[in-house]
Amino acid sequence: MKWVKEITRSLNKGSGERAEKTDFLKKQISSDELSAKKEQLSEALQGTQIFLAKHGDKMTNEEKNEMENHIKSLQECSKLLSNEGLIQLEEERNIEDENMDAKDLMDQHQEFQEKLQDICDQLTQAENQIIGHKEPLVIDDSKTELQQYQVRQQELQKNMQANTQALAEIVKDTEMFLKENGEKLPLEDKTALERKLNEAKTKCLLLSQKAEESRKELDKAVTTAIKQETEKVAARQQLEESKNVIENLLDWLSNVDKDADHRDAKCKPTIKQNGTHFHEGDREDLIGEEDEVNGNLLETQEQNETLVDGQRTLSDDNLNMKYQKAKAQHEKIISQQQAVIVATQSTQALLEKQGHHLSPEEKEKIHKNLKELKVQYETALAESEQKLKLTRSLQEELEKFDADYSEFESWLQLAEQELENLEIGASDFGGIIIKLQRQKSFSEDVISHKGDLRFITIAGQRVLEAAKSCNKIEGVRYEKEGMDTSSTYMEVQNKLDRATSRFKTLYSKCSIFGNNLKDLVDKYQNYKDAASGLHSGLQDCEEAMNKQLSEVIAGDPKKSSKAARRNQGASRTSI
């Protein structure tokens, strides 16, 4: 209603003001708009009347009066639009159409033509700028350069929006001009203006599409560049992490033995052969035809027993501790196998996918580290397995040797005790004969155990060789994979020396004792034979003298006394 009243008030003004408002009303009011307003007034009037009819009995008198006044106002406005407004507006338009002469019409035509041409020129310039912005996208630009292009593109978009808005105004005015005055224009001018209008609209549409495509391409390029740079940074970070993991693993592998080396910091002296160790020639002598015992002796048997007894339990415990340490080290290396595999595979995958982000020097260094990691880990694993295998083999050989040696040592102790019992003196010759027989049997038993000594010697030599394999010694420094088994080596060597020494001593004593017994028996037998012969001679002499004495006594007693004295003298002489 306010709008209708204002239009009506404007139309009712004086002639001077009325002329000034003509152009304004022409632009502001159209037939469609008047029809729409009229329809709105009709709907509002109808709705208000229906509302009053339905709810009037519920309203107060004041509200009902207000509604009735409102209905009257709507009816008045509807009448104004139906009568005075339309008639007056049509009159103004007719007057304007009649007053517009041909010159004004051509001036307006020229003005629209120039505006359209100007906007077309601006659109062409903008199109060239868009093309200029698209060309750098072909080059592999950095993210910063692309973002600069993006800023310029955004500025171009703003300019295009301004041009588009200006074009929209010009198009609207031009279309209105053609609609109202197209019939009054020469056909050629009208066609030219329509062509230029279509050209501007088409160019604007195409330019908008190109600008949108350019924007999308630039956004895509920037997004791709940002993504690539992010991936590059992430790839470098991942590769750096992988490189650190590989370097840490290499460092760990290079120091994997240092804990054990640190615990065994005190380096023990090299085991030196003192002329009492077993060699191939020694074993040949030991198993030769002669009944000679291998002469591997320590300085004193008492010293030997002290060393062996003192190391008997310590060596086994020490070797077991070394085996457990080798086993723990092997398990530690095995535990890193998955880490090595993961580090290797992940780094290789990263190099394949993201290696182009790295310089050739960096790629070469990583490849070198990967190769070195593989070699070092395989070497460390092989060395650990070999060390564990050798240590276990040494344990097994030592267990076999200890069992055989223990059995042989038990026999030695019994044999030594039996020899001591044999050396106890006999009460008579019969006892000596019995001891000689026992000595012969004992000697045969000792000789039969020489094969056991050879067997123990061979078993001990296997332990010594296994110990040497575990303990590669050069001077007083051990190789990286070496293990100090000198205590085991010395223990076994001392046991071998001790067994050999005791066996030789036993054999020697047994032989000497046997020889002495045999000599004693022989001498006793000689004495017995000589005594038996003497006794027989004495009996013959006694019989002869008795005979002579009998004969003399029978002939002359005096001569018998002299004969008796001669016989006694003869007896003394024979004795």
**DSSP of 168-237, one letter per residue?**
HHHHHHHHHHHHHHGGGS-HHHHHHHHHHHHHHHHHHHHHHHHHHHHHHHHHHHHHHHHHHHHHHHHHHH
Using N-to-C axis directions, what is the helix angle for 486-555 and 429-448, rounded to 10°? 150
Structure tokens of 296?
């591997």
pLDDT in tens, 533-551: 787 878 878 888 887 777 7
Higher per-residue pLDDT: 477 or 48: 48
pLDDT at 455: 92
CB-CB contact of 307 with 487 (8 Å): no
pLDDT in tens, 62-83: 888 888 887 788 777 777 666 5
According to DSSP, residue 478 is labeled E
Structure tokens of 519?
């000599």
Q: Whole-angstrom Cα distance, residue 455 to residue 465?
A: 15
Q: How far is CA 539 from CA 486, 546, 567, 571, in A?
A: 78, 10, 13, 11
Q: Where does the pLDDT of residue 413 fall: very low under 50, low under 70, confident under 90, or very high at 90 and above?
A: very high
Q: Is a pLDDT exceeding 90 seen at residue 454? A: yes
pLDDT at 14: 45
Q: Which of the listed ranges 14-28, 295-309, 544-558 does the model predict with the highest average pLDDT?
A: 544-558
124-138, 283-297, 376-390, range with the lowest pLDDT? 283-297
- What is the pTM (predicted TM-score) of this model? 0.49
Higher per-residue pLDDT: 130 or 351: 351
Q: Classify the phi-psi angles of 281: left when phi > 0, otherwise alpha if psi is within -120 to 50, otherwise beta.
A: alpha
Question: Residue 477 pairs with which residues in a beta bridge?
Answer: 474
Q: How many CB atoms lie within 10 A of CB 441?
A: 10
pLDDT in tens, 113-145: 888 888 888 878 877 877 776 655 544 556 677
Average pLDDT over residues 408-436: 85
CB-CB contact of 489 with 467 (8 Å): yes
Q: Whole-angstrom Cα distance, residue 343 to residue 373?
A: 10
pLDDT at 171: 83
CB-CB contact of 352 with 367 (8 Å): no
Rounded to 5 degrees, φ, ψ at 344 are -65, -50
Which domains are delineated in the chain? 1-8+30-230 (1.20.58), 392-560 (1.20.58.60)
Decide: helix, strand or coil at residue 293. Answer: coil
User: Which residues, at least 6 apart from 113, have a Cβ–Cβ distance to it below 8 Å?
Assistant: 192, 193, 196
Q: How many CB atoms lie within 10 A of CB 469?
A: 18
Q: Where does the pLDDT of residue 347 fall: very low under 50, low under 70, confident under 90, or very high at 90 and above?
A: confident
The candidate with the shortest Cα–Cα distance to 224, out of 148, 147, 132, is: 147
Q: Which of the listed ranges 168-172, 397-401, 521-525 does the model predict with the highest average pLDDT?
A: 397-401
Q: Is a pLDDT exceeding 50 seen at residue 278? A: no
Q: Where does the pLDDT of residue 31 fall: very low under 50, low under 70, confident under 90, or very high at 90 and above?
A: low
Q: Where does the pLDDT of residue 205 fall: very low under 50, low under 70, confident under 90, or very high at 90 and above?
A: confident
pLDDT at 268: 44
Dump strand ranges (E) for 368-513: 473-474, 477-478
Q: Which of the listed ranges 162-171, 436-445, 475-484 does the model predict with the highest average pLDDT?
A: 436-445
